[in-house]
Amino acid sequence: MDSEGPYHKGEIAIQEAVGERAQALMNSVVIKDEILTGAINFIERQPLMVLATENANGQIWASMLFGKPGFIRALSTKELLVDLLQAKEIDGDPFLDNLARNPRIGALLIELDTRRRLKINGRVSRQNEQEILIAVEESFPLCPKYIQRRKVRLPEDGLPHKQTPELATGTSLGAEELELIANCDTMFSATSNPQGNLDISHRGGKPGFVRAIHATRLRVPDFAGNSMFNSFGNLQLNDRAGVILLDFAGRQCLQICGRATVLLAQSDPQNETGGTNRFWELEVENWQRTTIPAIELEFLDASPHNPK
């Protein structure tokens, strides 16, 4: 492995700034340019998939797809197929339109009830009404930290593939959006580097770990992780970001696009960061709140790693 490993200059800058460069290089051995064969069965069990895409205006979107296990499968270690006929998207989600304009995609498969997750990044090589085929360029497993265990599934009797959207949109967060944020324990963040490579990462914590500083700005603590700093590294080079905050019990989600700022070595008297003293803030450009086509069957337990 060369001295940079698989990291770009933005990731390296953050790793060096926080003193975790050596650990990042050690952890980089899990990063491959293909799916590990041992992960293929894991992929086919998953009922949800989280996605990062970019629209024509350069905004980064964090999105979700739900389906019965089997709607995602690996055709080989280099190709991932998503069956859109078996999938249910979030009302009003533009990710398919985004992919039609820009085939770059970041994907995360996350099994909430076991806290297992797998990143798969690449580009869409085929897209039609029936399916999308992803050419895999990067894949690696991630640690189980900060994931709240819950069982989430499509209803057994199914849902219409296309529902009438119950969609609220805006540029300044209202009372319902602020309430969702205050109760949220699970978020996903999407970022991109200047080469267009997209990434989607899980963020979790106690309800309210994401704070709305005001109606157009969010503040998110950065907990100790795998030392790779994929998101922070991307934000060093491209401040565009998108997030999706989930209320599984209420079947609601909030998608936000905006511009982010990374904050290192901050004062943290309430120990919001669990000792890292790192935050990032997202200035809201656009948001939409809508329903998710899945139900929470059971909340099992919160992550034992959530800061006290």
Residues 246-268 have pLDDT tens digits of 999 999 999 999 999 999 999 99
Rounded to two decimals, the pTM is 0.95
The pLDDT value recorded for residue 166 is: 79
Q: Where are the beta strands (DSSP E) in the chain?
A: 48-54, 60-67, 72-76, 79-83, 87-89, 104-111, 116-127, 131-142, 149-153, 168-170, 186-192, 198-204, 211-214, 217-221, 240-247, 252-263, 279-291, 295-301
Give the span between the Cα atoms of 151 and 47, in whole angstroms: 10
Cβ atoms of 249 and 299 closer than 8 Å: yes
Give the span between the Cα atoms of 248 and 152, in whole angstroms: 8
The pLDDT value recorded for residue 195 is: 87
The pLDDT value recorded for residue 1 is: 47
The pLDDT value recorded for residue 157 is: 58
pLDDT under 50: residue ranges of the chain: 1, 160-164
Domains recognised in the chain with CATH numbers = 9-299 (2.30.110.10)
Give the list of residues 6+ apart from residue 99 with CB closer than 8 angstroms, or none: 53, 105, 124, 127, 132
Cβ atoms of 173 and 215 closer than 8 Å: yes
Give the span between the Cα atoms of 208 and 198, in whole angstroms: 27
The pLDDT value recorded for residue 108 is: 98
